[in-house]
A and B are shown apart, each in its own frame.
Chain A
């Protein structure tokens, strides 16, 4: 079982919000969760032609730059992410692995020409962080309407989800956490 979750911040998120995030994630997974600053070289993953960072390259850096441990680690970045075949991703995770990354860019209302609303933006971030960490615990996408593990390809879908996994995903998560 993973001993802790390390949230690595590489965004402009305030400390108070990071604390809130840490608590919310800790409650969902039931293990110690803490925040540190991320030591990531975003330039290496940046694709100038697309103006975005390759999330797979960031994941590789997360795995290589940090010492081996049984902790899950998730980086929060303030740059837009992509994988080569898709126009963008909200985040990416190693399925059944230890690393994940989430971008705050497309979770923010102003990105869509809407009025800023920090509470909404933060709610989305919490759900995306839980979603990507869920993948690191081996959870697949869920078809339950409100489950946090439901796949979201546009931001309104994230708003419809709850922060917690559905009963079935919770059971799978329990089994996964016991087996690790």
Chain B
């Protein structure tokens, strides 16, 4: 019987309690009765009831006061008032204070049946909603923020502080430090978490395309615009707009964006209709925006509009204590997705990764671990499973020496340019012969494909 819906009938008249409890029992309800508010409150201490049917006029505490006390015990309780003394005032008061409905005795059985069915449906929807919200919170929890260093604790504090507000946030940090993950953490801890977070990589899109991507476009707005399309601003309505690489936006789009952020309204490209939106802005950049403002490539007014609350994410080399934690986290993550039984790194492999400089930050570390998981054999990752540049640099040269820094920098440039010697030499501002000499000096080898 406990899986059946439950109902608590509170009425000082026994005949009402008896007839209602009999009626609901025949319907398969789990029914209990109370002859007074005190008795009802006692029953509520022991368990939860799906529906409470309350009389208004009772000796001692009346139904209205009982409703208040019930809500203190169980704020989601569904309360229906059944009274013989209906007045507009009490009905309004009861409904204002959260009662589901208010009916007068005697009730039409069909009406009562529908009322209780609807109340149960609403309660089920409420519970289902709560459950789904909990599930969304679970899914949206940014579980990839790993770090126990004081610098990261400071970042966590800032996330917690700013998440609850609607303030614009600027996240700054080197490439690969996890700026988008921080943005998602802010979103999933904010009141907008049940709405989308829409990310726009401003650096990845050419100017004209970025405008259409942000604002959307009407059919025929430009060649190829065959259909009307909603922009990211519209898609972010109610939620958060995450502008990654915000320093790369062209001056015209900067102006349009400033207007939208200030007025929360815009028109689609090629359209006239004003669209109102409500979103929070979080942006990220690894550029020196102050310099960009000084040289005129970034609008000062937009800079001040975006730079309200800044979170700096420290590079990985400044929080080396987090490297083992992150490495183990990525090992567990890829062991799960690849179905491999590698559980950790060998002490030598761990030493190698802790000594490495990580110019590509957490992203580089994750890629290194992913690669090691692919080539490595259970049960642990060994130094030879790690990417070439990590082991080479660390084994030959003492950590912190000028030669190590030079070697590391040359390797990075070579890798960025796919070992194109001419282009790398140009970037390093040395001639090709010098570069060949340095490659020989440090024993660098072009990694074989795959």
Contacts and interface: CB of A to CB of B under 8 A. Distances in A.
Interface string A130-159: 000001000011000000000101100000
Interface in B99-124: 105-110, 112-113
Given A56-B19, A153-B113, A86 B26 contact: no
A61 B311 CA distance: 81
A113 interface: no
Interface stretch (A11-19, A32-40, A69-77, A87-95): A87-95
Given A50-B106, A83-B22, A85-B23, 16 more contacts: A56-B19, A82-B106, A84-B13, A84-B106, A85-B106, A86-B108, A86-B109, A87-B106, A87-B108, A95-B22, A135-B26, A140-B25, A140-B28, A153-B109, A153-B113, A154-B110
Contact of A153 (B13, B82, B105, B110): B110
19 contacts: A56-B19, A82-B106, A84-B105, A84-B106, A85-B16, A85-B106, A86-B19, A86-B23, A86-B106, A86-B107, A87-B106, A87-B108, A89-B109, A92-B22, A95-B26, A151-B26, A151-B27, A153-B110, A154-B110
B351 interface: no
A38 B15 CA distance: 25
Contacts of A85: 16, 19-20, 23, 82, 105-107
Interface string A73-113: 00000000011111111001101000000000000000000
Interface of B: 13, 15-16, 18-20, 22-23, 25-28, 82, 105-110, 112-113
Interface of A: 50, 56, 82-89, 92-93, 95, 135, 140-141, 151, 153-154
Given A89-B109, A153-B113, A84 B19 contact: yes
Nearest to B114: A153
A135 B22 CA distance: 11
A56 B21 CA distance: 13
A141 B19 contact: no
A158 to B, nearest CB: 12
B109 A84 contact: no
Which residue of B18, B22, B82 has the most chain A CB atoms within 10 A of its CB atom? B22
A152 to B, nearest CB: 9
Contact of B23 (A50, A83, A87, A154): A83
A50 B28 CA distance: 29
Nearest to B14: A84
A141 B5 CA distance: 13
Contacts of A86: 19, 23, 106-109, 112
B109 A88 contact: yes
Nearest to B107: A86
A85 B80 CA distance: 14
A90 B112 CA distance: 15
Contacts of A92: 22
A50 B84 CA distance: 14
Contacts of B25: 95, 140
Contacts of B22: 83, 92, 95
